[in-house]
Amino acid sequence: MAAVLSFLKRHSAFIGFAVVAMAAPLFTQNIYYLSVLAFMGTRFMIVLGLNLLMGQAGQISLGHAAFAGIGAYGSAILTTRWEVNPWAAMALSALLAATVAGVIGVPTLKLKGHYLAMGTLGFGEIVYILLVQFKWLTNGTDGISGIPSLSLAGIDFGKPQAFHWLVWGVALIMLRISLNLVDSRVGRSLKALHRSEAASMSLGVNTAYRKVQVLMVSAVFASIAGSFYVHYVHFVSPSSYTLTFSVILATTVVIGGLGRVWGAVWGSILMMVLPEFLRQYQDYTNLVFGVMLILIMIFLPGGIVSIGGAADALRRRIGGASGRSGGDAAPEGGS
Amino acid sequence: MTFDQFLQYIFSGITTGSIYALTALGFTLIYNATDIINFAQGEFVMLGGLTAISLYEAGAPLAVACLGAVAIVGVAGIVFQQLAIRPLLKAGILAQIIVTVGASLAIRTAAMIIWGRESRPLPPFTGDTPIKVGEATILPQTLWVLAVTLVIVVALQLFYRRTLTGKAVRACSVNSGAARLMGVSYSWVVLLSFGMSAAISAAGGVMITPVSFMGYGYGAMLGLKGFAAAILGGLGNPAGAVVGGLSLGVLEALTIGALPIEGASGYKDAVAFLILLLILFAKPQGLFGGRAVEKV
Which of B110, B227, B284 lies nearest to residue A287, judging by beta carbons? B110
**pLDDT, tens digit (0-9, with 9 covering 90-100), for A72-81:** 999 999 998 8
The pLDDT of residue B63: 93
Can you tell me the mean pLDDT for A265-283?
Answer: 83
The DSSP bridge partners found for residue A155 are A152
Among residues B268, B258, B261, B194, which one has the least CA distance to residue B225?
A: B268
Angstroms from B144 CA to nearest CA on chain A: 30
Is A308 an interface residue toward B (CB < 8 Å)?
no
Is A140 an interface residue toward B (CB < 8 Å)?
no
What is the interface pTM, i.e. ipTM, of the complex? Answer: 0.84
Strands (E) in chain A, as ranges, are 144-145, 151-152, 155-156, 235-236
Instruction: State whether B101 and A250 contact (CB < 8 Å).
Output: yes
Instruction: State whether A123 and B277 contact (CB < 8 Å).
Output: yes
**pLDDT, tens digit (0-9, with 9 covering 90-100), for B154-188:** 999 999 889 998 888 888 888 888 888 888 888 89
Question: What is Dmax (Cα atoms) for chain A?
Answer: 77
Whether residue B22 contacts residue B16, with contact meaning beta carbons closer than 8 Å, is answered with no
- The domain locations on chain A are 16-242
Whether residue B93 contacts residue A114, with contact meaning beta carbons closer than 8 Å, is answered with yes
If 0-12 CB within 10 Å is exposed, 13-18 middle and 19+ buried, where does residue A114 land?
buried
Instruction: State whether A243 and B220 contact (CB < 8 Å).
Output: yes
Is residue B21 predicted with pLDDT exceeding 50? yes
Is residue B275 predicted with pLDDT exceeding 90? no
DSSP code of residue A155: E
CA distances from A134 to A4, A139, B273 (A): 55, 7, 17
CA distances from B156 to B36, B164, B207, B242 (A): 20, 13, 18, 12
Instruction: State whether A113 and B93 contact (CB < 8 Å).
Output: yes
The overall average pLDDT reported for chain B is 88
- The domain locations on chain B are 13-217
Instruction: State whether B37 and A117 contact (CB < 8 Å).
Output: yes
Strands (E) in chain B, as ranges, are 131-133, 136-138
Residue of B nearest to A56 (CA): B94
Question: How many Å apart are CA A153 and CA B113, to the nearest integer?
Answer: 50
Helix (H) or strand (E) holding A184: none
Is A129 an interface residue toward B (CB < 8 Å)?
yes
Q: If pLDDT is split at 50, 70 and 90, which confidence band does A319 have?
A: low
Which of A125, A207, A332 lies nearest to residue B224, judging by beta carbons? A125
Whether residue A18 contacts residue A172, with contact meaning beta carbons closer than 8 Å, is answered with yes
Question: How many Å apart are CA A9 and CA A329, to the nearest integer?
Answer: 45
Among residues A7, A50, A232, which one has the least CA distance to residue B94?
A: A50
The pLDDT of residue B61: 94
Which of A60, A123, A197 lies nearest to residue B94, judging by beta carbons? A60
Instruction: State whether A297 and B98 contact (CB < 8 Å).
Output: yes
Question: How many Å apart are CA A193 and CA A59, to the nearest integer?
Answer: 10
Angstroms from B202 CA to nearest CA on chain A: 21
Question: How many Å apart are CA B32 and CA B35, to the nearest integer?
Answer: 6
Residues near B5 by Cβ (< 8 Å), separated by ≥ 6?
B136, B257
CB contacts of B106 in chain A (<8 Å) are 286-287, 289-291, 293-294
Task: Give the predicted TM-score (pTM) of the model.
Answer: 0.85
Best of B35, B85, B94 to substitute, by most chain A Cβ atoms within 10 angstroms, is B94
Distance of CA A53 to the CA centre of its chain: 9
Can you tell me the mean pLDDT for A124-137?
Answer: 88
The pLDDT of residue B57: 94
CB contacts of A247 in chain B (<8 Å) are 101, 104-105
Question: How many Å apart are CA A214 and CA A277, to the nearest integer?
Answer: 34
Question: How many Å apart are CA B172 and CA B158, to the nearest integer?
Answer: 17
Angstroms from A259 CA to nearest CA on chain B: 12
Is A207 an interface residue toward B (CB < 8 Å)?
yes
CB contacts of A243 in chain B (<8 Å) are 220
